Amino acid sequence: MNLFDVYPLFDIEITKGISCRTYDKQGMEYLDLYGGHAVISIGHSHPYYVQKLAQQAEKIVFYSNSVINKLQTELAQKLGKASGYEDYSLFLISSGAEANENALKLASFHTGRTKVIAFEKSFHGRTSAAVRVTNNPKIVAPINEGFDVEFHQLNDIESVRKSLIKGDVCAVIIEGIQGVGGINIPDKLFLQQLSAACKETGTILILDEVQSGYGRSGKFFAHQHADIRPDLITVAKGMGNGFPVGGLLISPMFEASYGLLGTTFGGSHLACAAAIAVLDVMKAENLVENSRKIGDYLIEELRKIDGIKEVRGLGLMIGIEFDKSVNLLRKSLLFDKKIFTGVSGSNIIRLLPPLCLSKQDAVFFLNKFREVINEQV
Ligand code: PLP
């Protein structure tokens, strides 16, 4: 059997990872400034994480959600404390798309409505809220099964308000920072007005923090830069440092009932052990603070480099936009300088390194990045 060929691949086989470095099968070392789309939060193969996973795997990997699993409770308590959402409840799933699907479902059950507002250039996984992110018609295709999704411009509060006052919108879904769409940060005032407008109209506000959450922005959640408290928050990616685990944080206004939501794999013993280990390491190593500090430094230094159109970001979620395609630049970073980066669209380099990135690694990257830019002019 062949693999279903949906991913364009670099001709590199990664066989090992340590902290912010990965190694290919020839032993070549790479600096990882992408972490597989913001997944590697505490660094590759962190010894504490590896130990906790191995210990748990020896005991039990999975049973089912029909028996008590104290690891789920421990995870919920630790996540509540780390994020400042101790009064919210946690529903566990295995991916970002699943987290958003369940958020939409819950919003729809709660309001009895099915219309959803999302934003241009948003990405919420291959969900009912679909994608509006690329010019590729194959990906843009809406997948609205049951939900009628209306797209608005980010930061255009008047257009959103006009829609909300009709009273037929079940949820507004918005990323803390748009990732796939190009590192676009919602204005603080816009988020505050959006939150107020949702409350006034009985609309559920869903913050998709799948990519921007878990300390990436220099706060636990990106929306916390705007001091708002959404009704539902979705997380995944950095939550398990590579182990597939996602979560839906649910405000106390939602009432749980048996059978309302459900999943087979979500909240397995091994998934919880991974997610608990991530939170333990984030706390012990002050990784949210490190993300803010190293992110500020990188953004400040990148803004001094000539030839860049714009540097956008918060913490270690950074977009570097050029006037032209970054294809060659990215390839040169990877194959000549041995640095993994990501892209958004054709003109933006996207940095999503592990949150433990050191100042030394940041300086190393900046030097190589300047070299590559100079080599290409
Ligand atoms: N939401 C956001 C903001 C994302 O960036 C992604 C993935 O890139 C998703 C949801 C979907 O997550 P998953 O691929 O785990 O389903």
- List the chain domain ranges: 14-45+287-375, 48-284
The answer to whether residue 143 scores a pLDDT higher than 50 is no
Rounded mean pLDDT of 368-374?
96
Confidence of residue 149 (pLDDT cuts 50, 70, 90): confident
Confidence of residue 369 (pLDDT cuts 50, 70, 90): very high
Q: Which amino acid is at 219?
A: K
Rounded mean pLDDT of 153-177?
97
Residue nearest atom 9 of ligand 1, based on CA coordinates: 125
Residue 281: predicted pLDDT: 98
| CB of 175 closer than 6 angstroms to any ligand 1 atom | yes
- Residue closest to 232 by CA, chosen among 105, 337, 374, 367: 105
Q: What is the CATH number of domain 14-45+287-375?
A: 3.90.1150.10
| Half-sphere exposure of residue 108: CA atoms within 13 angstroms, side-chain side | 19
Residue with the bigger pLDDT between 150 and 218: it is 218
The Å distance, Cα 44 to ligand 1 centre, comes to: 20
| CB of 211 closer than 6 angstroms to any ligand 1 atom | yes
- Give the CA radius of gyration of the chain: 20
Q: From the alpha carbon of 246, which atom of ligand 1 is closest?
A: 15
Residue 376: predicted pLDDT: 83
Of 128-137, 171-180, 295-304, 318-327, give the lowest mean pLDDT range. Answer: 128-137
User: Matching CATH topology for 14-45+287-375 and 48-284?
Assistant: no
The Å distance, Cα 126 to ligand 1 centre, comes to: 8
Of 65-74, 131-140, 161-170, 329-338, give the lowest mean pLDDT range. Answer: 131-140
Cα(154)–Cα(166) distance, rounded to whole angstroms?
Answer: 20
**pTM for the structure as a whole:** 0.96
Average pLDDT over the chain, rounded to an integer = 94
Rounded mean pLDDT of 170-185?
96
Residue 133: predicted pLDDT: 52
Pocket perturbation via mutation, ligand 1, pick of 210, 221, 234 by most ligand atoms within 8 A of CB: 210
| CB of 179 closer than 6 angstroms to any ligand 1 atom | yes
Burial of 65 (0-12, 13-18, 19+ CB in 10 A): middle
| CB of 139 closer than 6 angstroms to any ligand 1 atom | no
The answer to whether residue 278 scores a pLDDT higher than 50 is yes
Confidence of residue 19 (pLDDT cuts 50, 70, 90): very high
Residue 140: predicted pLDDT: 44
Pocket perturbation via mutation, ligand 1, pick of 122, 237, 317, 350 by most ligand atoms within 8 A of CB: 237
The CATH class that applies to domain 48-284 reads alpha beta
Residue 142: predicted pLDDT: 46
Q: From the alpha carbon of 209, which atom of ligand 1 is closest?
A: 3
Contacts of 185 (CB under 8 A, 6+ apart): 177, 178, 222, 312, 313, 314
